[in-house]
Amino acid sequence: MIKDMTENEISLYIIKTLKENKKAEFEAMIDELQPYDVAKIYQELPEKHRHRFLLFLKFDVLADLMEELDKEEQLDLLNILGIEKSSKVLNLMDNDDLATLLHEMSPEKKDSFLSEMNKEESNAVQDIMKYPPETAGRLMTNRFVWIRNYYTVREAVDKLKSFAEYAESLNYLYVIDENSRLVGVVSYRDLLLAEPGEKINEIMYERVIYVTVTTDQEVVAQTVERYDFIAVPVVDEDHVLVGIVTVDDVLDVVIKEANEDIEKLSASGKAIDFETKTLVAAARRLPWLILLLFIGLISGRIISGFEETLQKVVALAFFMPMIAGMTGNTGTQSLAVVVRGLISHDINKKVIFRLVMRELGVGICIGVTCAVLISIIAYIWRGNFILGIVVGCSLFFTLIIGTLAGTVIPLILYRLKIDPAVASGPLITTLNDIFSLLTYFGIATMFLQYLV
Amino acid sequence: MIKDMTENEISLYIIKTLKENKKAEFEAMIDELQPYDVAKIYQELPEKHRHRFLLFLKFDVLADLMEELDKEEQLDLLNILGIEKSSKVLNLMDNDDLATLLHEMSPEKKDSFLSEMNKEESNAVQDIMKYPPETAGRLMTNRFVWIRNYYTVREAVDKLKSFAEYAESLNYLYVIDENSRLVGVVSYRDLLLAEPGEKINEIMYERVIYVTVTTDQEVVAQTVERYDFIAVPVVDEDHVLVGIVTVDDVLDVVIKEANEDIEKLSASGKAIDFETKTLVAAARRLPWLILLLFIGLISGRIISGFEETLQKVVALAFFMPMIAGMTGNTGTQSLAVVVRGLISHDINKKVIFRLVMRELGVGICIGVTCAVLISIIAYIWRGNFILGIVVGCSLFFTLIIGTLAGTVIPLILYRLKIDPAVASGPLITTLNDIFSLLTYFGIATMFLQYLV
């Protein structure tokens, strides 16, 4: 019955049960829905029904719902619930989501919530918040099952059963020694296939792939992706197991990081989406545009230094957009290759050398091809052979340098521990513009007597 | 012991066991390694040891190894093994990876491998290959556990145990009726917590979230991401359960799609990475650059139409790079917002209208700000008030149109079912260049008498 209902029909049914105060039917319907769906219904629910909706929901469902909402919606929901009910919900939330929520609150609000929560959960989430953002320590959850290396398979299975409700991920059971240090891992598949009397330390994998609390989230994502893991254990500096990062959080990280890369490469500044208000969006885009305005004036100043040459051969201006556009674009192409490659490759002197040599070769190939092409076109168009040579030579040199700049600059920034995706854009654009104009007008001025 | 060894030490140990022909020690070490690590060792192994390395590996490890290699390495490995051993390995590979490998072979090779494989696996992978690439049908695997809705919990757990080795994912058991249609799902956690005598159709979720064989892989990824699933079931047009897509494949899809978006936005063409050969990389980048060359010449032709104006007021050339750069960039900023938003938002008339209005507002804000700024600067620099007005007005209009173009063009392409990320770049660049030049020189020509 429910599986054949559309989203609309489900929403209407929910509203009906709220109006008619039929809690049992309400709960039966909610039980069949995923957290994402409950959140969608909640977000589209008319204001007047929200209070009862929240009151009807069980606390564990409320916790799941909280994890699907954005910050404003979360605070709004906690307001409606009141302090006492809120703390029950916060106790049930996953620590990583809770840490994110508390992190963005004012200190007073945060402390008042923390003091209402039960002590163990409160301590756990405060521990997480000690770690820097975008590290494994912040992403991890403490809802996992650990077993001692001296357990038998039967004891491990029993523990698994008793923790089945609590644990976020049951795929891997991490094995710790008497000092809580991570010493091995068994998958629950291994448990299913083993004899009940076997000892854990006989069947466990000793060579556990792990990350540390300070590991960057991109490296965590890379690890999970390489090994096709469902979760990865997190240890502290004493190799004590303190949490796990699950693959769904990794998926969210990858998507978020991909969006950030796209933002940076197109210099849109801090995240702008369809909902951002006009003035806010304009304010976020202006800084970069104003910077470009001044960089553009540097180019203008350079051209004005060759005012005499330009006055004598106005046709030189006709090729400016083309040279600038192509030089800029070859730089961007190289930049994109390097930025993506830095994520998935191990970087050493040999890799860098080969890459730079390859890009030099590419620059020469496209430089020669485009230079010859434009020389012919310029000659045919303006009937001036020397003009063709001047434009062709300029394009040749600027394409090579542009390609190399797009390769070398992000590598240098990476070495200086600056994020290449965000800083390379402006640097490469500026340098390529300046260089291409100097080259172009420089060569034109050298051949001025032959051009007129 | 092994857990303390570095990668280098493990490699050396492996080579030692190969040289001394100690198969048992070799196998004991390999047993402790993840497929990704075995692949890394294999790739760095000196040629002379590869044959024995492969002969020593068990067939299931060889299948896992195959799934970590790229196409050339896979074909190389199959060559070394020979037809008979290869078919044993192919029988054990996951169907989705197998389909990818076979798809890229010549038809003769593909047929010869398929005929050597066991019939069931061969049919399964040929079925997958009927589906279009980048769909759920191609990503899915048939290694999952299904149960009938009339089973008891005890029978389901028994089936789980017997399939524990075979199934790729054991988190969810999909429930089918007597016609093999998908009717429900139970999680392994639910089984652990239920009474052995309960019936499956009493405890199962009926409202199963699923995808169809033709669902695009980006939508599959979106579904897994929204619901935090470990796997999602795939049904055909009769709602018969035919496979599952696991989260590790989704993670790979998301990363690949993100890279493709970055490539498209920076117009690097087909994937270029650190390994691509010089001539190949140049050949992949040239088409776009040559297109830019001709687009640049269109701009040049427009400027040449205003040759007289330019001859009289050469200073107009000084502001060309700035206007072009800013107009282009505001277009790219808007483009990035739209491209990202199209992935995560539902698009309807209301959303589009609000977005275009917002972008118009943003264009006006940044247009006014930058126009005023540049007017002042141009006046101070060149001492010519009218020049400042001309440049400022041009910038005002081109920034508004540039921002709108960057918003409207991808939306139009999206409506025409053309990928906005790949086609918008050139269109927006071209249109913005042409428009900004026409506006700039048009206004300058109108005010020419006041400029000189």
Residue pLDDT, tens place only, B48-78: 899 999 999 999 899 999 988 888 889 889 9
Identify from B227, B292, B387 which residue to disrupt to test chain A contact, counting A C-beta atoms within 10 A and taking the largest count.
Answer: B292
Contacts of A254 in chain B (CB under 8 A): 251, 254-255, 258
Residues B97 and B100: their CA atoms lie apart, in Å, by: 5
Residues 6 or more apart whose Cβ sits within 8 Å of residue B106? none
Q: Which of B293, B301, B321 sits opposite A373 (nearest CB)?
A: B293
Q: What percent of chain B clears pLDDT 90, i.e. is strictly above it?
A: 41
Q: Which of A36, A289, A433 sits opposite B329 (nearest CB)?
A: A289
DSSP letter string, A334-364? HHHHHHHHHHHS---HHHHHHHHHHHHHHHH
Q: pLDDT band for position B396 (50/70/90)?
A: very high
Task: Quote the pLDDT of residue A6.
Answer: 84
Contacts of A206 in chain B (CB under 8 A): 2-3, 32
Task: Quote the pLDDT of residue A377.
Answer: 93
Residues A164 and A145: their CA atoms lie apart, in Å, by: 9
Weakest-pLDDT range from A64-68, A96-100, B55-59: A96-100
| Tens digits of residue pLDDT in A16-25 | 999 999 999 9
Q: pLDDT band for position B262 (50/70/90)?
A: low
Q: Which of A268, A300, A365 sits opposite B336 (nearest CB)?
A: A268
Nearest CA in chain A to B4: A207
Determine the topology of domain B302-451 in CATH. Tetracycline Repressor; domain 2 (1.10.357)
Residues B259 and A21: their CA atoms lie apart, in Å, by: 51
Q: pLDDT band for position B193 (50/70/90)?
A: confident
Task: Quote the pLDDT of residue B266.
Answer: 61
Task: Quote the pLDDT of residue B271.
Answer: 67
Q: pLDDT band for position B185 (50/70/90)?
A: very high
DSSP letter string, A152-173? BHHHHHHHHHHHTTT-S--SEE
Residues 6 or more apart whose Cβ sits within 8 Å of residue A111? none
Residues B36 and A61: their CA atoms lie apart, in Å, by: 38
Q: pLDDT band for position A2 (50/70/90)?
A: low
Residue B355 scores a pLDDT above 70: yes
Nearest CA in chain B to A437: B321
The reply to whether the predicted model has a pTM over 0.90 is no
Q: A124: helix, coil or strand?
A: helix
Task: Quote the pLDDT of residue B344.
Answer: 64
- The alpha-carbon gap from A48 to the nearest alpha carbon of chain B, in Å, equals 24
Q: pLDDT band for position A168 (50/70/90)?
A: low
| Alpha-carbon distances, residue A41 vs A12, A18, A45, A47, A80 (angstroms) | 10, 13, 6, 12, 17
Weakest-pLDDT range from A47-51, B249-253, B347-351, B403-407: B347-351
Residue B169 scores a pLDDT above 80: no
Determine the topology of domain A146-255 in CATH. CBS-domain (3.10.580)
| Tens digits of residue pLDDT in B301-347 | 999 999 999 999 999 999 998 998 889 888 888 888 887 777 666 67
Residues A49 and A70: their CA atoms lie apart, in Å, by: 20
Identify from A322, A332, A404, A434 which residue to disrupt to test chain B contact, counting B C-beta atoms within 10 A and taking the largest count.
Answer: A322
| Alpha-carbon distances, residue B46 vs B14, B52, B265 (angstroms) | 12, 11, 40
Q: Which of A33, A207, A254 sits opposite B3 (nearest CB)?
A: A207
- The alpha-carbon gap from B108 to the nearest alpha carbon of chain A, in Å, equals 32
Looking at chain B, how many residues does it have?
452
- The alpha-carbon gap from A248 to the nearest alpha carbon of chain B, in Å, equals 5
Task: Quote the pLDDT of residue B433.
Answer: 85
This model of the complex carries an ipTM of: 0.72
Contacts of A319 in chain B (CB under 8 A): 296, 300
Identify from A358, A376, A394 which residue to disrupt to test chain B contact, counting B C-beta atoms within 10 A and taking the largest count.
Answer: A358
Task: Quote the pLDDT of residue B270.
Answer: 56
Task: Quote the pLDDT of residue B442.
Answer: 93
Residue B375 scores a pLDDT above 70: yes
Task: Quote the pLDDT of residue B183.
Answer: 94
Task: Quote the pLDDT of residue B346.
Answer: 67
Residue A92 scores a pLDDT above 60: yes
Weakest-pLDDT range from B47-61, B259-273, B385-399, B400-414: B259-273
Task: Quote the pLDDT of residue A262.
Answer: 67
Mean pLDDT for all residues in chain B? 87
Q: pLDDT band for position B242 (50/70/90)?
A: very high
- What letter would DSSP give residue B152? B
Picking from B315, B338, B360, the residue whose alpha carbon sits closest to that of residue B421 is B338
Nearest CA in chain A to B287: A366
Task: Quote the pLDDT of residue A263.
Answer: 66
Picking from B29, B109, B42, the residue whose alpha carbon sits closest to that of residue B70 is B42
| Tens digits of residue pLDDT in A236-274 | 999 999 999 999 899 988 888 777 776 666 665 556 777
Task: Quote the pLDDT of residue B118.
Answer: 84
Residues B188 and B200: their CA atoms lie apart, in Å, by: 12
Q: Which of A290, A300, A324 sits opposite B318 (nearest CB)?
A: A300
Residue A340 scores a pLDDT above 90: no
| Alpha-carbon distances, residue A265 vs A262, A333, B243, B287 (angstroms) | 5, 11, 38, 22
Mean pLDDT for all residues in chain A? 87
Task: Quote the pLDDT of residue A94.
Answer: 83
Weakest-pLDDT range from B27-41, B56-70, B91-105: B91-105
- The residues with which B173 forms a beta bridge, in sequence order, are B186
| Tens digits of residue pLDDT in A396-440 | 999 999 999 999 998 988 888 877 776 666 678 788 888 999 999
- Cβ A223 vs Cβ A229: under 8 Å: yes
Q: What is the mean pLDDT of residues B187-205?
A: 88
Q: pLDDT band for position B264 (50/70/90)?
A: low
Residue A306 scores a pLDDT above 80: yes
Residues B284 and B261: their CA atoms lie apart, in Å, by: 16
Task: Quote the pLDDT of residue B122.
Answer: 85
Helices (H), B345-416: 349-382, 385-415
Task: Quote the pLDDT of residue A41.
Answer: 92
Neighbours of A404 (CB within 10 A): 18
Neighbours of B47 (CB within 10 A): 6
Host H or E run for residue A40: helix A35-44
Residue A355 scores a pLDDT above 70: yes
Task: Locate A256 and state its tokens.
Answer: 């978020």
Task: Quote the pLDDT of residue A264.
Answer: 65
Task: Quote the pLDDT of residue B65.
Answer: 93
Helix-then-strand count for chain B, H and E: 23, 6
Domain ranges of chain A: 7-139, 146-255, 302-451
Domain B7-139 has CATH 1.25.60.10: yes
Residue A28 scores a pLDDT above 80: yes
| Alpha-carbon distances, residue B434 vs A262, B326, B438 (angstroms) | 26, 14, 6
Q: A232: helix, coil or strand?
A: strand
- What letter would DSSP give residue B94? -
Task: Quote the pLDDT of residue B345.
Answer: 67
